[in-house]
Structure 1
């Protein structure tokens, strides 16, 4: 007997729209157009990267590698774009792959997004690879289509070795 895999109904148009948003976002990051990327965040938006040993951690209780509200995110962007950010001056070259995107509208109108990612970072003839999954919450916005309420990058790495740190936006 063959079992049939049942999947929830998906709004293909929504998934396509979200994919285009994520592709445009990846392009902004790869081109280091960080002020334009920052404009994709709602005023209450947050950027989160949980610790590798607690990928499903709660930002209110657990240690995160990155836990930025909009103010801290602005500081991060401004710092990355100056010579003072020695880990990223000159800027690394990055290339991002975003795949297996899923999107579903919630009752409150917000959109939950999950997707897989790979970010390749090249600096000083060394390539680091960051892989994981995104768990975003978006809302519709004028002009950009969406804004981030939560932009969460969950790394699949056991540790940050050989990288040692996350100096780029994942």
Structure 2
């Protein structure tokens, strides 16, 4: 791997250790699930500044590309050195500011109407205190303008949630979209 590839590849996620899985309906699981439901509401109702406050200052936010491979090569369908999005806290804040504070965000003006349906949430303790790996499925519906059609974007998310005082914050997100070719134009929404 050369230096450029090393810079572009995201920090590896910790493993999903089934022996460290947090029980469904435990207080911690419910708190994390509520975090995801509240996050979906913030994004769907365009409360982007408030969503930005739920991010850690060292967040990594990645949307790698997907390739179609034969069955024996399924472990090579996600390419992390080439990404649709490779964001940091600074770049996410600039995107939020551009959408909310300027008139130049034509890709999202008028804004998309979205719904984020979060399901299959699995929470794992990590080796770091107060950090949790969370795997979930996400279905995003998106409609623009006065069209009667809408986009469906199914994906899997791998997140790191970190406790910061009394709050939970998003420290890492990797979005694995099911499609090899994303059919929605001007993908300016957050996942």
- Partner Cα distance (1:46, 1:66) in 2: 10
TM-score by length of 1: 0.86
Moved more, 33-42 or 73-82: 73-82
The match for 2:157 among 134, 137, 140 is 134
Determine which structure has the larger helix proportion and give its number. Answer: 2
- Partner Cα distance (1:34, 1:155) in 2: 22
Q: Which residue is equivalent to 2:63? A: 49
Q: Which residue is equivalent to 1:18? A: 32
**How far did residue 10 of structure 1 move?**
3.3
Moved more, 48-57 or 112-121: 48-57
The match for 2:137 among 100, 116, 135 is 116
**How far did residue 129 of structure 1 move?**
1.1
TM-score by length of 2: 0.77
Structure 1 position 86 matched with structure 2 position 109: no
How many residues are paired up? 159
Provide Cα deviations, 1:68-118, integer angstroms capped at 9, x if missing partner: 111111111111223211111011111110000000111212100000000
Provide Cα deviations, 1:90-149, integer angstroms capped at 9, x if missing partner: 111111100000001112121000000001111021311111111001111234x31111
- RMSD of Structure 2 on Structure 1 (CA): 1.7
DSSP-derived class of the 1:51 partner: strand
**Structure 2: stretches of 5+ with no match in the other structure:** 1-17, 68-75
Provide Cα deviations, 1:18-64, integer angstroms capped at 9, x if missing partner: 11000000000001110110111111012111113276333xxx111
